[in-house]
Structure 1
Amino acid sequence: MKVTDSTPVSADVVNTPSRSTTSAGAMPASTLSGAGEVQDLICFSHLRWNFVYQRPQHLLSRATKNFRVWFIEEPIWDNDFRLNVCQQTDRLTVLVPHLPHGTSPEEAVRLQRQLVDEFISQRRMTDYVAWYYTPMALLFSDHLKPRLTVYDCMDELSAFWGAPPQLLEQERKLIERAGVVFTGGYSLYEAKQNRHPHVFAFPSSIDFAHFSVSRRPQPDPIDQRSLPTPRIGFSGVIDERFDYELLGKLAQRRPEWQFILLGPIVKINPALLPKAPNVHYLGMKAYKELPTYFSNWNVGMLPFALNDSTRFISPTKTPEYLAAGLPVVSTPIRDVVRTYGSEDFVQIADTAEAFEKAIELALARKHPSDWNSIDGFLIKNSWDHTWGEMNRLMVAQMSLPVEQ
């Protein structure tokens, strides 16, 4: 890849900003002490830690090498008012606000602010990184004074169904405060690059060791053991991004193929999903279980609809399927085409007929043809390397003097 001043960062390419290096999201001071002294990272997330294992879990579990991580989720409506503390490891703790039923939106903001303030005070936390996945959390945290504010923009949340009307305005404020902005793919990078001097693209990476065990025979999980082959699988959230019409057409055209879907069904009416003898919804699985499922599939599919909610996505399942040794067929999602389709690592199909032909090629082991190149790419784009690059950029940003 030729590197220019506007080249987005991947796991192995670093974009050096040419504009001002003043950190808008850092604590005001004439000089800063060593960045290595910052020991805490507070994350504000719209996703729950124990939901589908994806970007936040991959990155923040690795962040524990450098920080104590405090992962604050969206509130749960309950009969009492408290902050539930659940320690996942000795370096990572999940915090869940519990708010009384009937709390107004304005009061919910005030109560969450109170819980966060009490937590920070009790921990005597004065020097920390604030890491945001949701700009909406700024409503109750905009008074905080972190050493560095990081916005890891993993999705264009404003394009999702049910997005709050004030989300875009809150994102504008968050980008203004941030010292550095990371994006979950190249399309998101292109959408954000002119809004901040320090924007870096970090597309979905891979834990190769975790998924490559699928290339060796693994015990077939009990809930798919009785299903015949060939098996075409999907793993991920089944929501407005999922092309259920495409799945229905494929199931109808090829009744001898078994379509296996792992993941929760959210934000859509389950009645819309195709019901057929060869379509199997097995529910959400733990991250550690996925290799055993993948090992007993024949093809991995990415049947995403082409709509506003998928315009900027960079599916984590693309490299996971490949690491598992599965041939992959995807609809023409921009970041999949750009990263994997252009290299002929993944087949791209825009109709049910084309999808069917691509699966036929995969089942005949005629695609992909260059697994050595695929593995070389995957090994270079590990989550470990991605976190290392992110942390390097954060440390550099925290080491800069801040204008008074």
Structure 2
Amino acid sequence: MTAGAATGRPGTDLVVLSLEPWDRVWRRNQHLVAGLLRTDPALRVLFVEPAADPLHDLVSRRRPRWGRRPRTVSLDGVPDGRLRAYRPTKLLPRRWDRAADRRLARRIRRVVAGSGSTDPLLWVNDPGGAAVLTLTGWPALYDVTDDWLEAERTPAEHDRLVRDEALLMARCAEVVVCSPGLQATKGARRDVTLVPNAVDVADYRRPRPRPSDLPPGPVAVYVGTVHRDRMDLDLCVATARALAGRGHLVLVGPAPLDPADRTRLVRAGVVLLGAKDRTEVPGYLQHADALVVPHLVTPFTESLDPIKLYEYRAVGRPVVSTPVAGFRDSGDPRVIVASPAAFPAAVADAIPAAAPFPAGADGEVDDWQDRVVRMRGVLDRLAGGGGAVGAGDAAGGEAEDGTRGGDGTR
């Protein structure tokens, strides 16, 4: 590879195994990868999205989606060709195809080899990426953003997650965590590096017009994925009813809910606006009369460092949250922490007291630029000699027949 013009080091290829696709809704991976590409002209990234699962789509009565060949992703400030995204296809469930993860790993290795890369660094966010590490032995970091071992999953899927994480914790040269909670739990097992989440402060403080699909009148807004792993749907229903006649509870973000849950929310008066392009999100936050966090308080949510914590603080609006990690200990006078029983009334009380944006949007908030610098340091250590145990020779690796075991999950 050619030398990096601004960095003075050889070019680096990075393979990111993500829990999320590269789409218009940006999460931690996209912010960090974009920042790294903009600051390192020698870097090339293959962003591997979660595998398409057409059979599961059919069973779930959804239109089947298929994988996509590697494609160029356009990114402001980055020449085309330095960022590509790839979505493989998983044809059969793991309970039917015991080598499903290994097959996916082989496809990823072929795509990487086809790009001319022979010695990439591996960034694992999806624990299923343990199969790629086992197959390749590429120098690897494990970026832990959620404690999936605490999430509600089937016994078979939980067992698989335990095995995959044990392998990653043992064999990755670097482990990064996003929250103090994860630093405490994962750091008890080995050295970890804390790289919390953040926000693009300047972008979120640039005034935007009121989004046209916000309902008229006062609004309490939540921005994030509406998922049963973290959202208290009963509390959403109670809050919408408490606001009836005075305002609306608006949920902005992907909502992978079953039809019964979705119907229950809508009948209670909750406004579901769905996923929005990242460029549109600040407008919803700036025009909220209150921002809310109706999250469950569970061991899983205790592991999180919510990006919305930084987004909410950047716009300076009043916030009402259940006592979850991040918001509970923020020390921000604009954050009201309320028990589930007191939450609906606290939201109703916060709405009429709100001053228009940009009032309050003047506090110090952590910026993604600082997090990119931290992650760059981790990658430099990895490229400087931090490798992985040789492929296939660690506990929890492949069995003698080349499989990772049929665990009865998708």
TM-score category by the smaller chain?
0.7 to 0.9
> Cα distance 1:71–1:264, how it changes in 2: closer, same or farther (>3 A)?
same
2:86 maps to a residue whose letter is: L
Which residue of 98, 106, 111 maps to 2:98? 106
| Equivalent-residue separation in structure 2 for 1:235 and 1:168 (angstroms) | 30
Matched residue type, 1:39: T
Partner of 2:10: 37
User: Does structure 1 retain, via aligned residues, the 8 Å contact 2:172–2:388?
Assistant: no
Under a length normalisation based on structure 1, what TM-score does the superposition of the two structures give?
A: 0.79
The percentage of counterpart residues that share the same residue type is 22
Report the counterpart of residue 108 of structure 2 in structure 1: 116
Residue 249 (1) aligns with residue 229 (2): no
Which residue of structure 2 lines up, in the alignment, with residue 295 of structure 1?
Answer: 286
Where has structure 1 moved over 6 Å in runs of 4 or more? Answer: 79-82, 401-404
Aligned ranges for residues 205-284 of structure 1 at < 5 Å? 205-213=198-206, 216=207, 218-224=208-214, 227-240=215-228, 241-255=230-244, 256-266=246-256, 268=258, 269-271=260-262, 273-276=264-267, 278-284=269-275
Kindly indicate whether the alpha-carbon contact (under 8 Å) linking 1:131 and 1:151 is maintained by their aligned counterparts in 2: yes
Measured in 2, the distance between the counterparts of 1:328 and 1:319 equals 12
- Find the counterpart in structure 1 of residue 317 from structure 2: 326
1:389 and 1:221 map into 2 onto residues whose CA distance is 35
C-alpha displacement at 1:61, in angstroms?
1.4
1:69 matches 2:45: yes
Structure 2 contact 137–388 (Cα < 8 Å) conserved: no
Counterpart of 2:256, as a letter, is V
Deviation at 1:331, TM superposition (A): 0.7
Residues 301-352 of structure 1: CA deviation (Å, up to 9, x unaligned): 11101124312111111211221232211111123222x1x34352211134
TM-score w.r.t. length of structure 2: 0.78
Partner deviation per Cα, 1:355-388 (whole Å, 9 max, x = no partner): 523652464249xxx947x622x0xx11111011
111-120 or 311-320: which moved more?
111-120
Residue 170 of structure 1 and its aligned partner are, at CA, apart by: 0.9
Structure 1 Cα separation of the partners of residues 284 and 17 of structure 2: 32
CA distances 1:275-309 after superposition (whole Å, capped 9, x unpaired): 34642111111111112222321111111011243
- Aligned pairs for 1:142-157 (under 5 A) are 142-146=134-138, 148-157=139-148
Answer whether contact 1:43 1:130 (CA < 8 A) is retained.
yes
Question: Letter of the aligned partner of 2:375 in structure 1?
Answer: M
Number of the residue aligned with 2:333: 344
**Where does 1:79-90 land on structure 2 (aligned, <5 Å)?**
84-89=69-74, 90=80
Gapped regions of structure 2 (runs ≥ 5):
1-6, 56-64, 75-79, 390-410
| Counterpart amino acid of residue 70 in structure 1 | L
Aligned to 1:15: none
Give unmatched runs, 5+ long, in structure 1: 1-33
Instruction: Indicate the RMSD between aligned Cα atoms, in angstroms.
Output: 3.0
Give the conservation status (yes or no) of the 8 Å contact 1:250–1:352. no
* 2:220/2:347 contact within 8 Å kept: no
SS in 1 for 2:131: helix
CA distance in structure 1 between the partners assigned to 2:99 and 2:119 by the alignment = 28
Shift of 1:401: 7.6
Q: 1:35 to 1:132 in 2, by over 3 A?
A: farther
User: What residue number does 2:383 align with?
Assistant: 398
1:182-193 aligned at under 5 Å gives the runs 182-193=176-187
Question: Do the aligned residues in 2 keep the contact of 1:82 with 1:115 (CA within 8 Å)?
Answer: no
